[in-house]
Structure 1
């Protein structure tokens, strides 16, 4: 029997980009942003765009992101019944391409290289499920979209939401019955 497929975003879903972004942004620009202060704000409203881009284009920013709680164990468990693809809209920040591949190799060595998709737009991704923290990606999802909670999407309600990896596993495993 063919396994169902899942496209899983990296930043904000597997990698805790918010924590690192706020830390690097504050250090580089002398600001005092916190997770609470950006809650419910779109990224363009929470951060000055040119300053944000300078942080995201810095060497080792993506390579050193912390892993989301329970992400490794959850993907190992899901991999038993699903084919997993890691899909990241990485080409906007070319410095991130090699860093993301290296990061995945360190933290998710069980994901094969051919299941890593670094792209610009996710509109062409055709999997049974997509887990992402951005509506702009989920709105075009050809399968079942699942929104992973992040500060910038907290007020959005038009997709099934999971708040953490334990909830994501529970939702996906229910589809097997």
Structure 2
């Protein structure tokens, strides 16, 4: 499917409710609710379509509308190219032709996991995760204007 920054992936758009996603993709392989740390009752519903490498989050802060999408497997394109398996330089070179924003980088380290490099295009709500210099996950979210969500227009 085609990844559209600020919009969604394929026929799935930010702001949709869970039922709309399952109408397009069928029932997920997993469904869970994760409570946010330090948040009284706030959390996110997570739908996992692992065969397609897709995870959809519906945050309580957004009235359980689709707020983020994680893409974890090849077969999905961003600006016409499947970026999975490419190194950081290849990915950033491709994106430089389409995004007019300097990315920010941050290393995430955990005791029991390998180091991951997060490359963020904050204004685009685009987050790229690299393991050993190879792209392993793309996360996208809706855009903001003056701290207010900008939901995609319905087709």
TM-score, with length taken from structure 1: 0.24
TM-score, with length taken from structure 2: 0.27
Greater RCO, CA 8 A, separation 6+: 1
Higher share in helix: 1
